[in-house]
Structure 1
Amino acid sequence: MKAIVYSLLASAMLFTSCAKDNVDPPKSRLTGRVVYQDQAVGVRSFGSTNLGSNASMLELWQRGFGLFTKIPVFVDQDGTFSAELFNGDYKLVRSRGNGPWVDNTDSISVNVKGNTVVDVPVQPYFTFSNASIQKNGSTVTATCTVAKTATRNIDRVVLFISRTAIVDATNNLARSEKSGADVADLSKPLTFSLAVPTSIKGPVYARLGVRASGAGEYLYTPVQKLE
């Protein structure tokens, strides 16, 4: 699922300034990924909340239409994003306090002309390595190592499972978690075990998440489908 956000604000302003003209809808597409060390960063899907409330979000800003208003661009759970826009020059901004990464107020200049691709670098508070999730009978087990990349402590690390491919802190049927006190020594691998709810009759979807203290969002591993 791709998160496609239409530039309604820019479109409305263009219609206002050219009320008597026929204006085509935006046809150019900006796509990209939120990345750390060239790897996409897993987040909570905007589709698991009402209108993307508190989900990881980027902002596009464009001058020259009388108003200077943000165009929200929500990041999908695999770290990708997509927006349909008019050609032009935009400023892309990482929303403050709106992701599992360190705030960065620097804007990225983007010239949209036809299909345009841009990666947005971030610095997560924590990262996963050697993550493995498996299902054996009615039990899901997971192992991982968590590394600290910024000056915050861990709030918790969680294994989430669901019956759908959208899996996160707000969309799951079961979870196994460890608090920050349980993972004080990050040199040791973490292990999780979780019974599959009887309400799940088919495949199980699972992923791991880590949240920093004071952060509103988890960083996630890719979703895995377990038969």
Structure 2
Amino acid sequence: MKIKFHYTVILSLMLFSAACKLDNYAPPSVTLKGQLMYKGTPVNVEYNQVPFQLYQSGFKGNTPISGTFDQDGTYSVLTFNGNYKFTIPGGQGPFQWKELPSGGRDSIAINLTGDQTVNIEVTPYYMIRNAQLVASGGNITAQFSIEKVITDATAKNIQTVSLFVNKTQFTSTADQAAEVDLAGTLITDPTNVNLSVAIPKFTPTQNYVYARVGIRIAGVEDMIFSPVQKLTY
């Protein structure tokens, strides 16, 4: 079961701030931010579902700062200067994360001496390429291609591809007003996948929707998505 971390960063910062006031220390004021990337392309995920952890080096048994990536793969943490290790827990995300020879999770060393942007390079099982979404004739249609990135013995099959439509920019399995799915076994040409779904009716009415496509990977909890697009009709 997916554990949600939506409020963990906020709670951590509240505790940090309270402790600082009691000890007459300044509250956290250094911003670490970045984005999930694969060879220069953002990796889009489901909002509030893929967690990360930030450990401060040199403190044994210290509790990590935990948070989740936004749906465009971005993250942001308010903390202090210092040496940190950034990692993603096992079994999380629609991608592979480097493992240590010992079998543990690898981490990225980050030396914070002020605000810093650190993008997180991952290897997704699949990438959605050239997604073209159109609102026309009462329907939302999507045309896109699928790149299979991992092709070795750890490769995984596509369970389904889906088109999600919602009234707000939060668009995924958990946040959608319309959805259409296609089983992976029915994909005959990964370079030309097409989906279509009727535009849902909203109250109050609006002349736009948000949409994106996603891939559910067999044996993987998290989906990978195309960027959210606002479509006017």
TM-score over 0.5 for the alignment?
yes
Q: Write out per-residue CA displacement over residues 156-191 of structure 1, whole angstroms, 9 at most, x where no aligned residue.
A: 1100000001101110011111111112542x4111
Is 1:181–2:182 an aligned residue pair?
no
TM-score (norm 1): 0.86
Is 1:195–2:189 an aligned residue pair?
no
In structure 2, the gaps of 5 or more residues are: 1-6, 99-104
Is 1:144–2:156 an aligned residue pair?
no
Q: How many residues are treated as equivalent by the alignment? A: 214
Is 1:93–2:96 an aligned residue pair?
no
Q: Kindly report which structure 2 residues correspond to 1:67-146, keeping only aligned pairs within 5 A, or say none.
A: 67-104=61-98, 105-146=105-146
Q: By how many angstroms is 1:124 displaced?
A: 0.6
Match of 2:215 in 1: 210
Q: By how many angstroms is 1:63 displaced?
A: 3.7
Aligned to 2:186, the other structure's residue is in SS state: helix
What is the alpha-carbon root mean square deviation over aligned residues? 2.5
Partner Cα separation in structure 2 for residue 67 and residue 133 of structure 1: 48
Partner Cα separation in structure 2 for residue 136 and residue 207 of structure 1: 15
Residue 218 of structure 1 aligns with an amino acid whose one-letter code is: M
Partner Cα separation in structure 2 for residue 20 and residue 161 of structure 1: 48
Query: Percent identity among equivalent residues?
Result: 33
In structure 2, do the counterparts of structure 1 residues 19 and 219 end up closer, same or farther at CA, with 3 Å as the change threshold?
A: closer
Partner Cα separation in structure 2 for residue 62 and residue 124 of structure 1: 27
Aligned to 1:78, the other structure's residue is in SS state: coil
TM-score (norm 2): 0.84
Residue 194 of structure 2 aligns with an amino acid whose one-letter code is: T
Q: Kindly report which structure 2 residues correspond to 1:136-175, keeping only aligned pairs within 5 A, or say none.
A: 136-150=136-150, 151-175=155-179
Which one is further off, 156-165 or 128-137?
Answer: 128-137
Aligned to 2:185, the other structure's residue is in SS state: helix
